[in-house]
Structures are given as structure tokens and as C-alpha cells.
Amino acid sequence: MKICFNEATTMKKSTLELDLELCSKYGYDFIEIRIDKLNDYLQKHSINELVTFFNNNKIKPYAFNALEFITFRDTNAYKKLKDDLQFICEVGTRIDCKKIVVVPSFGVGYTKTQIKEETARVLNDLAVIAEKYDVNLAFEFVGYPDCTVNTFAQAYDIIKTVNRTNVGMVLDCFHFYSMNSKIEDLKSADPNKIFIFHIDDAEDLPVGALRDNNRLLPGEGVINLDKILQTLKEIGYQKMASIELFRPEYWDWEPEKIIKIAKEKTEAIIKKYFSL
Ligand code: ZN
């Protein structure tokens, strides 16, 4: 299993440039690039500099995070979303980063049927654009009660319905745990449909009460990560694990400290089930 760093973990004090330098120093295999950090980077640097960096270093880009709230958008917002997708696909082609995380919208009142139809329609539509660049879309459900897609089973059903080779999903342990997704649903999943695996842990809050700021380093919270990793091993998923934390406390740490500790904590649990 390859180890990846998701830049949300150092949201406040770091930059793409610094994340790359530190992740390289601590031996991460991959980085998930945040689109906001990419845009900041491009204020002062060129895409060519990024190309050169990845050519000269072992660490490689794995995915972009994230195109958010892709469903139930008005005409103007949807057009902007498609423009953003096209831009990210173009950057992805240059730096050989061929996955983009896409996130459903929030809002209550839609039926599950309406959500499935809208989400499948949008994923198909965006996938046509991404396909031209050989880019894959990784759909990430969010384990909040008011997210339109908030369990593994609901997300998996949608991507199976879309049934395109360039549309899969993100399995994020935090989102999986927070709305009580079922391990049986993961057990029956096709590992090839899991494009990205986000690893993290959570504080001990009731179902529906967890928010991203309650994330913890792997092994420090209440999520049964052993069960999830065991299940991934059983179904044959072994591509990568990306550490993704949105905890303000960690954002206040020096980036080097969290990047170093996150790697150690992630490897400690991963290596119980997979070779690194
Ligand atoms: Zn995630």
C-alpha cells in the first residue's frame, strides 16, 4: 500500500510548495493536491515548475481535491463548475495527475430517487469532459446528515448506476463511520471502484454529530480502522491510503510536525495489514 498526503491536513500554515518539500523529505509516495493551494501556487509559479518538481522527485501527484457541491446547481454555477473541471483536467494532463475528487451538494428535502437521478446525471455529464483528458472522477460521499449522499451504500449505488470506467468513489474512514455506513456494503464492493482511500480517525460523538474538525490521527480515535483495513485486504484493495485531517488543532502545528507524525501513525496501522 502506497502512502499519500492530503493537503487538507496542513490547511492553515502551509503551501503547495512547502507540502511538496516536506512530504518528499518524509518519504510519502503521493500527494493529493488541494485546488485552492494549487491556485495560490500558480500566483507565483508556473505549471512548468510543478512538472520539473515531479520529474526530479520520487513523490508523485495522485489526485486533486476537490470540485465541491456538484449537484443541484443553477445554470451559472454549473457552467463555472465545468470550466473549473476543464482547467483542472488541463493541469492534470501536464503534471500526470489523473484523478479529481468530486463532492455532492448539501441540502435537505430531496428524495433519494431525485438525488440518485441528479447525481448520476451530473457525474455522467462531467465524466464526458474528464474522459477527453483520460481523467477519472472519484465521488466522495460526506458523512453529514444534510449531505445529499452520506453513506457508502448510497454512493456505491450511484456510481454503479453511472457505470463508467472513469467514475469511481472515495472511501473516507471518517465519512464511513460518521453516518454508520455498513462494513457489509464495503465487503461486497468492487475494489476497482474505490479510486481513493482516505484514512483518518474520529472523536467519540454520536451518529450525525461528527464534523471535519473532529478528525483525529489514525489510531487516536474510535473508528474501527482495523475492520476497514481488514475488509479492504479481503476484497483486494491495496493501492493507496491518503491521510486527510481537517483538525484546527493540527493546522496550528508546524507543518513539518504534522506531516512527520501523520506518516508515522498511518504507516503503523497500515503495516498491520499491508506491505508498504
Ligand atoms: Zn476525504
Q: Which amino acid is at 125?
A: D
> How close is the Cα of 197 to the center of ligand 1, in Å?
8
Q: H helices of the chain, where?
A: 16-25, 35-44, 47-56, 75-95, 112-132, 152-162, 173-178, 183-187, 225-235, 248-251, 255-270
Domains of the chain: 2-270 (3.20.20.150)
- Residue 253 and residue 249: Cα distance in Å, rounded? 7
- Residue 88 and residue 133: Cα distance in Å, rounded? 10
> How close is the Cα of 47 to the center of ligand 1, in Å?
25
> How close is the Cα of 41 to the center of ligand 1, in Å?
22
The pLDDT value recorded for residue 125 is 98
- CA angle, corner 172, sides to 181 and 94, nearest 5? 145
> How close is the Cα of 113 to the center of ligand 1, in Å?
25
| Contact of 168 with 194, CB cutoff 8 Å | yes
- Residue 92 and residue 63: Cα distance in Å, rounded? 8
3-class DSSP assignment, residue 276: coil
Q: What is the pTM of this model?
A: 0.98
The pLDDT value recorded for residue 155 is 98
Q: Which residues are CB-contacts of 69 (< 8 A; sequence separation ≥ 6)?
A: 103, 104, 105, 106
Bond prior to 66 in cis (omega within 30° of 0)? yes
- Residue 160 has phi, psi (to 5 degrees) of -70, -35
Question: Which grid cell sits at 19?
Answer: 507540502
> How close is the Cα of 57 to the center of ligand 1, in Å?
25
- pLDDT tens for the chain, 276 residues: list them: 999 999 999 999 999 999 999 999 999 999 999 999 999 999 999 999 999 999 999 999 999 999 999 999 999 999 999 999 999 999 999 999 999 999 999 999 999 999 999 999 999 999 999 999 999 999 999 999 999 999 999 999 999 999 999 999 999 999 999 999 999 999 999 999 999 999 999 999 999 999 999 999 999 999 999 999 999 999 999 999 999 999 999 999 999 999 999 999 999 999 999 999
The pLDDT value recorded for residue 249 is 98
> How close is the Cα of 177 to the center of ligand 1, in Å?
12
> How close is the Cα of 267 to the center of ligand 1, in Å?
18
> How close is the Cα of 6 to the center of ligand 1, in Å?
9
CA 120 to chain centre: 19
> How close is the Cα of 110 to the center of ligand 1, in Å?
23
- Residue 270 and residue 71: Cα distance in Å, rounded? 34
The pLDDT value recorded for residue 147 is 98
The pLDDT value recorded for residue 64 is 98
Q: Which residues are CB-contacts of 203 (< 8 A; sequence separation ≥ 6)?
A: 210, 214, 216, 221, 222
> How close is the Cα of 129 to the center of ligand 1, in Å?
23
The pLDDT value recorded for residue 211 is 98
